[in-house]
Amino acid sequence: MQGNHGSVFGWVVSRRTTIVLAVLLVLALFHAVILRFFAWPFQASSSSTPADYFCMHGNELGADGFQTYDATAEWHGKTAGRKILLLLPHASRIVEVGAVRSFEQTCLSELRKRGVPSADVWPIRADALDVWDEARALSEWLKEHPDATVRIGCNPFSSGRLRYVLSKVLGPVDAERVGLATLPDPECRVESWWRSRSGVKEFMYGWLELIHAWAKGDNAHAEMPDAATFQHEIRAQIGEAPR
């Protein structure tokens, strides 16, 4: 038992307590390094290899990534002849009922505002419900364009899952032709994710997406009835209130 004790600042404490105190001290001093380490799947920088096409993906609420329209227009303007690909999602109910424009209409309009002609924007009819559908549609497109190289704009916290899905669906050869352009929100950066509420949320969702992709593989999504069918079903389920 004698050897099991040590001295810290003159106090006699057990070896285990000393280790716990040391661990706490290391955590306090190096918490930023440790927390940054846990964001390793999202830290890969944007691909530096040149690409002929910039690919935008997202949903009816906008393209994935921060200020993606600005970044895409800037990329397009750098060299003549560059094209933009749009991976089109499945038309959602709020698009169907006219509450928002479709992803294609929004992207075309926003890019036009920034000087990108619509002729340089090529939609890919992916009818995607998730990133696996998007990867499959891109895979088909890459087969039809064997010399093309593509860069996909994305939120850094989604980049880990996106890279994993692309490598699974495209295979090693085609995956080499696709790079990622991470478009970070300055208010929730990967390097300091724990400092803001949105950063913590993005970090949590980023990891959950990645864990699901690793554990489950290809996504299984349920049927998505259209707006009219959904409304009919919901009304039947809810029924009328008693008078």
**Among candidates 188, 231, 190, which has minimal Cα distance to 43?**
190
Helices (H), the chain: 15-29, 31-37, 68-78, 93-96, 103-113, 131-144, 156-175, 197-216, 227-238
Q: Residue count of the chain, please give it.
A: 243
By CB under 8 A, tell whether 118 contacts another protein. no
Classified as helix, coil or strand, 218 is coil
Least distance in angstroms from the C-beta of 156 to another protein: 15
Q: Is 220 a binder of another protein (CB under 8 A)? A: yes
User: Considering the complex, what minimum distance in angstroms separates the CB of residue 111 from another protein?
Assistant: 10
CB 88 within 8 A of CB 123: yes
For residue 45, give the 3-state DSSP assignment: coil
Residues 30 and 73 sit within 8 Å (Cβ to Cβ) = no
Nearer to another protein among residue 150 and residue 165 (C-beta): 165
Q: How many CA atoms lie within 13 A of 53 on its CB side?
A: 24
Is residue 64 involved in binding another protein (CB under 8 A)? no
CA distances from 12 to 5, 20, 119, 124 (A): 7, 14, 77, 70
Contact range with another protein by CB under 8 A, out of 24-32, 45-53, 56-64, 146-154: 56-64
Q: Name which of 143 and 212 has its Cβ closer to another protein.
A: 212
13 near another protein (CB under 8 A): no
State yes or no: residue 158 binds another protein (CB under 8 A).
Answer: no
Q: Is 2 among the residues that bind another protein (CB under 8 A)?
A: no
28 binds another protein (CB under 8 A): no
Site string for another protein, 222-241 (x = CB under 8 A): x-x--x--xx--xx-xxxxx
Which residues bind to another protein, rule: CB under 8 A? 4, 60-62, 66-67, 69, 92-94, 97-101, 106, 109-110, 129-130, 185, 204-205, 208-209, 211-213, 216, 219-222, 224, 227, 230-231, 234-235, 237-243
